[in-house]
Chains A and B, each alone.
Chain A
Amino acid sequence: MKNILNIKGLTIEGFNDNQWSTIVDGVDLTLARGEVLGLIGESGAGKSTIGLASMGYSRRGCRISSGSILFDGTELCQASDRVKQKIRGTRIAYVAQSAAASFNPAHRLIRQCTETRVRHGQLTAAQAEKEAIENYRRLLLPDPEGIGFRYPHQVSGGQLQRAMVAMAMACKPDIIVFDEPTTALDVTTQIEVLNAIKQITRHLGTAALYITHDLAVVSQLADRIMVLKNGRKVEENQTRKLLDTPGKSYTQKLLSVRSQRPIKKPVQLKQNVILEVNQVSAAYKKKELVLDTIDLTIRRGQTVALVGESGSGKSTLARAITGLLPPLSGEVIFQGNPLGASYRSRDRESLRKMQMIYQMPETALNPKQTIETAIGRPLSFYFGISGREKRKQVLEFLDRIELPASYINRYPGELSGGEKQRVCVARALAAKPELVICDEVTSALDNLVGEEILKLLQNLQNDLGVSYLFITHDLATVRAIADEVVVMLKGKIVEKGPRNKILNSPGHDYTKRLLNSVPKMNPDWLDDLLEKRKNTRSKKAA
């Protein structure tokens, strides 16, 4: 079979701190017609850069310094802008990670989906529109005739992502580059997009580069998988072979993250209730309840995981508990004392006992403050500790979060994402809280790094006996850390109970759907699942 894409010795450099450094280091890659190649690795592995380079494109501040990119006989490295412009969109198309950011907010969807068709002179606007509607229908978008005439902000994230797939397939390209197309989506929505992608790669015979950090997702789609680390190829193999017999230890590590083994923890005795949420309802606008009579209890030393898709009200509940969003009705009782609705009406002591850790360590830390200032702030604010004593305690916390003492004078910008999140953990613990609310603390991190953070949180809980309210959409995290699971849907709690009961024998339909939407490392998982759902649907119809 003739290869449609042939990349040899690709080296890409990026301009950083006034010097060029290598991002991609001599990668070879081939893609046959109709083949799907998965590129997998953690952030900084150079996967996206390679994906873009296969279209002859490099971002600002990057340059392709050597190597050859041969697309169907055309060398893209030396090609003129005109030649590349002709190929892009028509013969190689791109599907970006965030459809919400990658659709132009000023134009209707259909105008963007038909643009390549019309601008490259292949079809008239009317013909292209008809074809786009056909593509929407093929990708099972709701209201295929009407959806294109909406603006991006009027369409949900999962539908936008499918519309972007429709946009990519408009010109029937030879290759589509999928750059983390489902990373920003909920598991239940992810299935629909994966199904759409499978449709076009399998039935239209389009070749694809599928870039992701999630091995389970890519194994559903890819014929072959290439593992990348720090811009170099680690290994490459047929999907099944790679999963069954990973050659390199790095691949094994990637595989084991998803094997979802729970972290060991001592069995808990029945402890005192520390937080009680009683019939709490809250709304941002009048009459639109985001939280609908929520009841929740957390015991000392316990981890309660709050699960649900985006928009289900998980973070809003955290805001209601902390008093950032005063509830409309109901009360929050902490260690037996009802708390004021707004954080403004709570005393310093009750503020101290409840701390938060956020999703984005980048934005949660002040970039102009050293690590000492960040961790030391709660010490001086709540306990009036200063000077040498403060520094001593900060050093102890650094030791606790397994960071070297030399970090004390560093700024957040000099730390990696995982290290910053550790600092956020330390800052929360410096207040000696009774309850820490962790809002998606691992979802902005790579799997391996996130795993380390979870281990750290577990160790700290074993030592200090703090309770966690763990907000997450990732069920693997739940399995790893939770004692109790609370499932939320549209502002209501649909199910709650001990972890093993919820995960192994869920009672509510939504929990079941949530659980079986989590991709498994088995390459047949998606096909089986879709087959099963189809059957139940036709059964219901009959």
Chain B
Amino acid sequence: MPTGLLNGGGSLNMKDMTATILKRIGHSVITLFVISILIFIGVEALPGDLAESILGQNALPETVEAFRKELKLDLPPHVRYISWLGDFVQGDMGRSLSNHRPITDLIGWRLSNTLFLAAVAAMVAVPLAIILGILTALYRNTLFDRIVSMVSLSAISFPEFFIAYILIALLSVKLSLFPSIATMDGQMSLMDKLYTIVLPCLTLTMVVLAHMMRQTRAAIINVLATPYIEMALLKGVSRLRVVVVHAFPNALSPVINVVALNMAYLVAGVVIVEVVFVYPGLGQLLVDSVAKRDLPVVQASGLIFASVYIGLNLIADLLSIASNPRLRNPR
């Protein structure tokens, strides 16, 4: 017996685990902090003077100077960064330059729309991907496996807008089943809302499905090669049960991670889909704000996207730890 392994592979206790979790949370906070600096520097590095470009070429120098003062552009960058971050942490994102409304109001509704679309798409895509992943692992190398893999890989290979337009052409123009424009307002009922976002939701599902499905399949097939799976088969356990009950729980960790990545994508990467379907989400707002040089909004949206990304990855890591019986039940 390699004794070193037994001694070295530590028996984890509760304290170690709490420490691991706290460390992981700490990493997330640091990452977020670094990203906030990068966003600030990025916006800062944009060419041209902000006040000039907003007021136009013909503005009087005094007006520009006054405007600069109002925007606090006369202060050194690090002072502005600290006050921006301080306000942001307290929930104050400042005011939009284009319409002077508080950014919090502007973003709030948009963010809820984006989250709604992402949540619905995730609720369709994640279970579908996992079920298909399990089935393709169960019937691996059969015709079924090949067809599912081919279709889902084709879907991921096309650009999102292409899939979106194909779906619009087929389901909206030709068959008139669903609206091609996903406009939302506050008064709509849940059913109406769901009906409105069928096409963007479908597009997103097709975009993220393959990734999660392939990962589930690969992780399960990996586990299927272990001695405890052979043992289960020799105990007379059915193939389906072997895959679902014996293999899947041990394949959870990689699956959780890829699901989290794709959910983060559903929130932060849907700009194109929102634009195609004219969906009033945060991505649209970001694109509009960049065009209008409404920099406080750009900064705020950027930081929100980053927080979602990091938050979901953090949750994935914590769930990964929780899915491991060795960590959950120390010796």
Q: Which residues of A contact B (CB under 8 A)?
A: 52, 55, 57, 59, 81, 84-90, 93-94, 96, 98, 101-107, 115-116, 119-120, 150-151, 153-154, 167, 184, 186, 284-285, 290, 310-316, 319, 359-360, 440, 443, 473
Q: Is the Cβ of B1 less than 8 Å from the Cβ of A473?
A: yes
Q: A88-B235, A115-B237, A154-B329 are in contact. Are A359 and B2 (CB under 8 A)?
A: yes
Q: A96-B227, A101-B226, A186-B1 are in contact. Are A284 and B7 (CB under 8 A)?
A: yes
Q: Is the Cβ of A120 less than 8 Å from the Cβ of B236?
A: yes
Q: Which B249-280 residues have a C-beta within 8 angstroms of A?
A: 249-250
Q: Is the Cβ of B3 less than 8 Å from the Cβ of A284?
A: no
Q: Is the Cβ of B3 less than 8 Å from the Cβ of A310?
A: yes
Q: Which B199-232 residues have a C-beta within 8 angstroms of A?
A: 226-228, 230-232
A52–B231 Cα distance when bound, in Å, is: 11
Q: Is the Cβ of B7 less than 8 Å from the Cβ of A102?
A: no
CB distance from A209 to the nearest CB of B (A): 13
CB distance from B295 to the nearest CB of A (A): 50
A319–B286 Cα distance when bound, in Å, is: 58
Q: Is B4 an interface residue (CB 8 A)?
A: yes
Q: Is the Cβ of B237 less than 8 Å from the Cβ of A285?
A: no
Most buried by A among B6, B10, B235: B235
Q: Is B246 an interface residue (CB 8 A)?
A: yes
Q: Which residues of B contact A (CB under 8 A)?
A: 1-4, 6-8, 10, 226-228, 230-239, 241, 246, 249-250, 325-326, 329, 331
The contact sample of 17 A-B pairs, CB cut-off 8 A, is: A52-B234, A57-B233, A86-B236, A90-B236, A94-B231, A102-B227, A104-B232, A150-B329, A151-B326, A153-B326, A186-B1, A284-B7, A285-B10, A311-B3, A315-B3, A316-B3, A443-B1
Give chain A residues whose Cβ lies under 8 Å from the Cβ of B241: 119
Q: Is the Cβ of B232 less than 8 Å from the Cβ of A314?
A: no
Give chain B residues whose Cβ lies under 8 Å from the Cβ of A84: 236
A57–B237 Cα distance when bound, in Å, is: 13
A84–B249 Cα distance when bound, in Å, is: 26
A443–B234 Cα distance when bound, in Å, is: 28
Give chain B residues whose Cβ lies under 8 Å from the Cβ of A52: 234
Q: Is the Cβ of B235 less than 8 Å from the Cβ of A89?
A: yes
Give chain B residues whose Cβ lies under 8 Å from the Cβ of A105: 228, 250, 325-326
Give chain A residues whose Cβ lies under 8 Å from the Cβ of B233: 57, 88
Give chain B residues whose Cβ lies under 8 Å from the Cβ of A310: 1-3, 6
CB distance from A21 to the nearest CB of B (A): 22
The closest CB in chain A to the CB of B249 belongs to A106
Q: Is the Cβ of A85 less than 8 Å from the Cβ of B329?
A: no
CB distance from B15 to the nearest CB of A (A): 12
Give chain A residues whose Cβ lies under 8 Å from the Cβ of B249: 104, 106-107
CB distance from A100 to the nearest CB of B (A): 9
